[in-house]
Chains A and B, each alone.
Chain A
């Protein structure tokens, strides 16, 4: 935490000085302000602060990785999300458009948006590539749920059901890819799927 305070403070203070020295108008006929040397020094200091800041974030991510806590949370979140999606899949055919809208709204509110808000934490724990794949799938699922809402509002219940099934598939994928489900079990499921 100390490193974070120091690095960000160094970064912002140095950048403020750099900004101020960059703002000075050059004295004619010069092209550059005579504060250029202050600007250069502060820019180097800001780069130092920025490197320390990123180092701190990386260290913090490593600590979180070693405890595995957020992955456990993600696993739980995805399990609950999938359970509720499957539950709704059972009931969807019996719901009218108002009922569908209410249930989709609830899914978005309880599961999708809270996960979207975990962006920085998941970026730190999953890394750029994994978190990017996770959020792209989550966004795809959200868009499809939005489509379910639109279709249900317009009275196209068949389209709503069909689109919902696509969203459910994505959540299943996410659950297998990002939860802590043992790899063996995942492979077994996948071989079940292909036979």
Chain B
């Protein structure tokens, strides 16, 4: 009986779920400004349909289902971040555009994001062992069953605690002005100055991500402490900020003018150094792909059985003395042509834009793709380490770089930004799913192929949905944006970034100086150090503190109860916490949209 893995049922279920999640999350993101990874929802629905309704479904089929569903869904996240900005800027008379080049660029971005990150699976998952908290949680979920009842109980307890807590937070029942607001517990106690940003984000998901990371995530906490307990008070006491600012404005200025741009710079520098340091691994990964490519050709010595197979007991027969003829990863014969097709698509998309010379198109391709690859690595690493994607920082850098390269041709700048936003989403999602796959023993090849073959659907669906929403407004435009039911907050942020670039007020000094520091931090002999420090400076301290407490708690528990305690108790509980908050968040978002809409 062949073990069911890449079956038609799993593929169709994944595509159906992906389309539904994509449409729902495009709407949620336009309305609320945030999106949620669809893996957990897809895995739960998959569990019910494959294992309860159909009954013969397997863990690996569910893994394929959630890979496809989340791949299609995450294609939409990149679209909804950038595409609405085109419509809003066109309405303001700042540009004109047509949909075709954007959709082509989006598909190219989706392909590039996957094709680039596939050869890095071994480095990120098998060598660096990044945790990918959501990927780990989904693996725990889809492996749950009667055989591991203890873990299922912990998963359920975590889910219940997290769901109830999130619900309490969302209803605001526990809110108290100045103490507990917007899910943040203020710890100033009226004693400490506001610029120390003493607050903790009361998110079980955030705490659980720290629990899953343990010691490896600790530099994230150090980064937050450096940012808010060293740089922030020093900047205030040295008089670097205008004295007329009130408390809220002061904290805002420290965060947005000093720490955030420095953090983005550090992130990029550290990721660049990571590429340099791990070059031997990258080389080995490409070499193994090359070897696998050569071994797929007929060879006289192939197909011999393991000579020692006779010594193995009944039921255990070796069939793999030579490497398996079935590839474990996407082979070069798919990766290279796929990469070329994606580049041609991007070239074609840029060529369709009016007013762009061939030199600008080529420059856009070279700089855009180089940056896209680095950005994909940055976002995949931060997702692997903390579950956070610094997508707005990446968008800022993309707009900045491309504006410099393309001489301020805004449609071209935003087109490349669209491709990059989609690519980074696909990279992070692909690696998150491959982590799940690793933990359930799936063949990476099937997952990679499944996501590559279907993720472009997410771009086209999300593009169509955004277009329809825009046309649903008065005079067939203005269906979203400020003053409507769908404020599209992320696209609004992007239009303000475009304004910053056009007015030449981007803090290039912070980005450049931060990048040099990032290079050094990335070269320190501590895994993930630079990326975590950069991300901590980029995010509010309340998130860093909650995550750091999770890391410290895990370290304390492991020291007290041993490493096995982490695998058997902490991981299932933390997985429940992550899934509970994610699903309650989705439920609340849908409730807000459908029941509380004016």
Which A residues lie at the B interface, using CB under 8 A?
11, 15-16, 18-20, 22-26, 31-33, 39, 43, 46-47, 50, 53-54, 57, 89-90, 92-93, 97-98, 101, 108-109, 113-114, 116-117, 119, 128-129, 132-133, 135-136, 139-140, 142-154, 156, 158-159, 161-166, 168-169, 172, 192-195
Other A-B pairs beyond A119-B129, A148-B441, 19, CB < 8 Å: A15-B517, A19-B230, A19-B262, A20-B230, A22-B510, A22-B517, A25-B257, A57-B525, A98-B147, A101-B147, A139-B122, A143-B438, A149-B441, A150-B58, A150-B59, A161-B315, A162-B317, A169-B306, A195-B307
Which residues of B295-327 have CB atoms within 8 Å of chain A's CB atoms? 306-308, 312-321, 324
Interface pair A26/B281, CB less than 8 Å apart: no
Which residues of B500-533 have CB atoms within 8 Å of chain A's CB atoms? 508-510, 513-514, 516-517, 520-521, 523-525
Interface pair B319/A162, CB less than 8 Å apart: yes
Whole-angstrom CA separation of A135 from B441 in the bound complex: 16
Which residues of B236-271 have CB atoms within 8 Å of chain A's CB atoms? 238, 240-241, 257-259, 262
Whole-angstrom CA separation of A141 from B440 in the bound complex: 13
Count contacts between A and B, CB distance < 8 Å.
174
Q: Which residue of B lies closest to A89 (CB)?
A: B316
Interface pair B231/A19, CB less than 8 Å apart: yes
Chain A residues positioned under 8 Å from B313 (CB to CB): 89-90, 92-93
B524 interface neighbour in A50, A119, A163, A164, Cβ under 8 Å: A50
Chain B residues positioned under 8 Å from A193 (CB to CB): 306-308, 321
Interface pair B517/A16, CB less than 8 Å apart: no
A169 interface neighbour in B230, B320, B510, B523, Cβ under 8 Å: B320
Task: Given A50-B524, A117-B563, A165-B318, decide whether A25 and B240 contact each other with a Cβ distance below 8 A.
Answer: yes
Interface pair A136/B440, CB less than 8 Å apart: no
Chain B residues positioned under 8 Å from A22 (CB to CB): 262, 509-510, 513-514, 517
Whole-angstrom CA separation of A132 from B123 in the bound complex: 9
Whole-angstrom CA separation of A53 from B526 in the bound complex: 11
Task: Given A16-B230, A150-B143, A151-B3, decide whether A165 and B316 contact each other with a Cβ distance below 8 A.
Answer: yes
Q: Which residue of A lies closest to B3 (CB)?
A: A159
Task: Given A143-B441, A144-B441, decide whether A135 and B3 contact each other with a Cβ distance below 8 A.
Answer: no
B122 interface neighbour in A32, A43, A101, A136, Cβ under 8 Å: A136
Chain A residues positioned under 8 Å from B284 (CB to CB): 129, 132-133, 136
Task: Given A15-B521, A165-B316, decide whether A23 and B259 contact each other with a Cβ distance below 8 A.
Answer: yes
Chain A residues positioned under 8 Å from B320 (CB to CB): 165-166, 169
Whole-angstrom CA separation of A132 from B129 in the bound complex: 12
Q: Which residue of A lies closest to B128 (CB)?
A: A119
Which bucket holds chain B's interface residue count?
35 or more
Chain A residues positioned under 8 Å from B441 (CB to CB): 143-151, 163
The reply on B442 being an interface residue by CB < 8 A is: yes
The reply on B235 being an interface residue by CB < 8 A is: yes
Output the least CB separation between B239 and chain A (Å).
10
Chain A residues positioned under 8 Å from B235 (CB to CB): 23-24
List 10 A–B pairs whose Cβ atoms lie within 8 Å, in order of A's numbering.
A50-B520, A93-B313, A109-B564, A114-B563, A117-B563, A146-B439, A147-B440, A150-B59, A150-B440, A168-B316
Chain B residues positioned under 8 Å from A156 (CB to CB): 1, 3, 58
A154 interface neighbour in B59, B315, B316, Cβ under 8 Å: B59
Chain B residues positioned under 8 Å from A53 (CB to CB): 524-525
Chain A residues positioned under 8 Å from B482 (CB to CB): none
Interface pair B509/A31, CB less than 8 Å apart: yes
Chain B residues positioned under 8 Å from A31 (CB to CB): 508-509
Task: Given A43-B517, A146-B438, A193-B307, decide whether A20 and B231 contact each other with a Cβ distance below 8 A.
Answer: yes
Whole-angstrom CA separation of A76 from B569 in the bound complex: 29
Interface pair B509/A26, CB less than 8 Å apart: yes
Chain B residues positioned under 8 Å from A16 (CB to CB): 226, 230
Q: Which residue of B lies closest to A146 (CB)?
A: B441
Output the least CB separation between A150 and chain B (Å).
4
Output the least CB separation between B361 and chain A (Å).
30
Chain A residues positioned under 8 Å from B241 (CB to CB): 25
Whole-angstrom CA separation of A117 from B558 in the bound complex: 13
Chain A residues positioned under 8 Å from B147 (CB to CB): 97-98, 101, 152-153
Interface pair B60/A150, CB less than 8 Å apart: yes
